[in-house]
Structures are given as structure tokens and as C-alpha cells.
Amino acid sequence: MISLLPYLIAAGVGVAIAHFISRAPELRSMRLSQFVFVPAAMVVGVYFLPDTEGSQAAEMGKLTCFLAVLIFLVLLLAPNIAYHFGAGLSNFLDSYDWTPTEEEIALRPIRLLIDKDSYRQALAELDGLLEKHKPTYEAVLIKAKLLHHIGRVDETVATLPALIALSQSTAQQLAVMELLDFLEAAHPDPPKPPAPGARRVEIDHELVLFALSGEGVTPHKVIPPGTYEIEETIHRNRRWLKLAGDDWGNAEMWWEALLSIHSPPGAPPKKGLLWQIARTHQAITHAIKGKPRRQLQAESQKLFHEAKEFIRRDDWQGALPLLQKASACDPDRYEIAYRWMLAVRQTSNDDATARAVSQVLRQSQWSQDEQDMLNQLKRPIAR
């Protein structure tokens, strides 16, 4: 009678190996498949262990199968082993702070301190968070408001340009620019005389421009990332940069904030045996569990950015499928859902719009104001 104990022990050892070798966040995408294949390979390896009771030919066959299972295990765990050796060597040579910069900043404790009027403590803790995490628009905006509230106006003005690069919508850029207008009205600074002639600049983020003949924030338009010919001018007692030969421009500091952005060079395409093994693990995990939420949100943001290019050209038909996919990836993001409904309204009849709005209302827990705005899209279009 064959004893099950060795196989149970082998399966348990396999689960333990898979657990400990895939604990690092960078290896989590391979964890599920390794929890399946490592214990299975361990059990099969025990089954093919050679013994001294069989014939020589049978034992050679078992040994061949055992070596094949061993090679499979080595290949299965090769990315994990390489990662742990590399991380161990790196930590030995230079100990790093491994706090993930992409981790979302928890702003709720900061807001609670603000509600208690502990503004300086809130600013100190927010600065500590920004040192360890990638800055976000909301976090930097709170910092600017705290600096202004405690009277550090110069630091407030110095903080505002970073918000332009972090903005995700025209409304966010306009809010930052209006805040600067308020600060400069209270603390005017004589502008330097403009330099003659035009020069070429390249910006890596969209930028809101205003008509020099207009007042306030209207009219305005948005220019996409790219290279532009600009000229210096004085407008509203401030030095502006405007499009060469055109009447559209903005304050010099906003242009400079975007000129300093340089995307890091793209990493070379990954290839090789270890990368192919890791991709296989990820494909298995995604097939079973679906893609991670962070990855879905990144894909949604990319699709939304592509859709906005169509919307700027008033091509709602081209934006519709991109917005639908973006909303499917991130069903809780209201801005995408609302733009999707606008696209449906522009390209379909009233009945189709009403059905689509009802679908969006069910896909997330919207606030009452958000529900009201979506329901307004159900109203028939006057044709």
C-alpha cells in the first residue's frame, strides 16, 4: 500500500516554498500560478524518486523523469531566485528605503488635523508623506493652501507650478492659475522687460492658454504637448509667453513649469528566458483573477487621455469606444463615466442614451450630485 504521507509533506513544502519566494510585491503577479505548480511539481518529483528495488531500466526512467521535474522547478522559480539574489546584493551594497513611491498618499489624517486647526502639524506630516511618495495634485494643493494659511506666501507661489504638471483636467489648471492671480494681486511684483524675437520650446503636458484680448479665464483653449514658437510679452503687468504670431498665451511661470518636465527614457524592451517565464505566470494569474486594480486604472487613464484628443477635435464617434473601455477598466471614476455618456448622447438617440445612463448609474456608488448630472443627460435633445 502506497503511503500518502510523503506526498502530503512534499505538497506542504511546495506551498511553503511558493509562499516565501513570492512574498515581494514585485513578484505577486506570479504567486497564484506558483502556488499551483510548485506543490504539484514537488509531489510528482517524490513519485519519480529512484529506489533500489526496481530494475535498472526502470530506475533510469524514474531518474530521467525526476531530473525533468527538477529542471521544471528551477525554471518555474528562476525569476524569483534572480530577484532575491539581486535584491540581497543591492541591500548589502547600499541599503535603500523601499517605501513604494507609487503608493497612494493617505490624506485623511491630514484633513483631520486641518479640521482640528492643527495647520502646522498637518503641513509637517504632509511634507513627510511627500518625501516618501510620488506627489499627487490633491496632496500638493493641500500643501499650497496650508502654506498660504500660515502666511508663507513666497513658498506658496513656489509650490503652485508643480500643480500644473500634476493636473489631470482643464478645471484643475484653471483653479491653480486663479489662486496665483489672487496671490499676485495681493503681492504685486514688477515684471522684467520682455526679450525680443521668438524662440522654440517643447512642453510635455497640456497647457491652458488665454486670449490676450480677453478678461479673466474666458475665453481659453488647451494646447497638447508638443513644440511651439513663442514670444515674450507683458500682459496684466506680468510677463507672459504667447504663441508666435497669435493672440493666445499664459504666464511665463506656467510654461517654465512644463519645460522642466522630462520623461525618463523608456526602458529597453524586456526579453530573455526569465522575462518569458514571468509573463507566463502573469498571464495565468490574470486569466484566473483578472488584472490588478492599479493596472486597470493605468489602462483606463491611458484610454481616457487618447479619448480626450478625439473630444478636442469634436470627434465623439472616435472617442466613444475609448471612453467605454476606460469606464469598464475603472467603473468608479466619474469623470470618465460622464464623458462616456456625453459621447453616447452625441452619437446615439435618446433611448440609447437613457439605457446607457441607467447602466452607468448601476456600475458605481455615485454621490447625489453626480447622479443628478447623469440623469440630466436622459433629457431629449432639442433637434
98 has a pLDDT exceeding 50: no
- Average of per-residue pLDDT values in the chain: 79
Per-residue pLDDT, 261: 44
Closest Cα to residue 176, out of 188, 167, 186?
Answer: 167
Across-strand partners of 241? 232, 250
More confident position, 267 or 200? 200
d(CA 33, CA 48): 22
Per-residue pLDDT, 263: 42
Per-residue pLDDT, 376: 84
Residue 53 confidence class, pLDDT cut points 50, 70, 90: low
Kindly state the average pLDDT of the residues 43-58. 78
Q: Which of the residue ranges 228-237, 257-266, 310-319, 355-364 would you say has the lowest mean pLDDT? A: 257-266
Per-residue pLDDT, 103: 53
Question: pLDDT tens digit string along 126-156?
Answer: 888 888 888 888 888 899 889 888 888 888 8
Kindly state the average pLDDT of the residues 176-198. 69
| Under 8 Å between Cβ of 107 and 125 | no
Closest Cα to residue 319, out of 295, 298, 346?
Answer: 346
Per-residue pLDDT, 322: 92
Burial of 47 (0-12, 13-18, 19+ CB in 10 A): middle
d(CA 34, CA 225): 43
d(CA 80, CA 38): 12
For residue 226, what is the enclosing H or E element? Answer: strand 226-235
Residue 230: CA atoms inside 13 Å, Cβ hemisphere, count? 25
Closest Cα to residue 377, out of 348, 351, 342, 343?
Answer: 342
Per-residue pLDDT, 262: 43
| Under 8 Å between Cβ of 102 and 96 | no
C-alpha cell at 89: 546584493
Segments of the chain assigned to CATH 1.25.40.10: 290-376
Class of domain 290-376: mainly alpha
| Under 8 Å between Cβ of 176 and 163 | yes
Q: Taking the CB of residue 147, how many other CB atoms lie within 10 A of it?
A: 20
Percentage of the residues of the chain whose pLDDT score is greater than 70: 81
Kindly state the average pLDDT of the residues 56-80. 85
Per-residue pLDDT, 192: 66
In this structure, CATH architecture of domain 108-259: Alpha Horseshoe (1.25)
Kindly state the average pLDDT of the residues 5-18. 88
| Under 8 Å between Cβ of 377 and 341 | yes
Question: pLDDT tens digit string along 24-41?
Answer: 767 777 778 888 888 998
d(CA 375, CA 361): 9
Alpha helices per DSSP H over the chain: 5-21, 31-47, 56-93, 108-115, 119-132, 137-149, 153-166, 170-186, 252-259, 273-289, 293-312, 316-329, 334-347, 350-363, 368-376
Q: Angle at Cα 255 formed by Cα 251 and Cα 261, nearest 5°?
A: 155
Kindly state the average pLDDT of the residues 103-130. 84
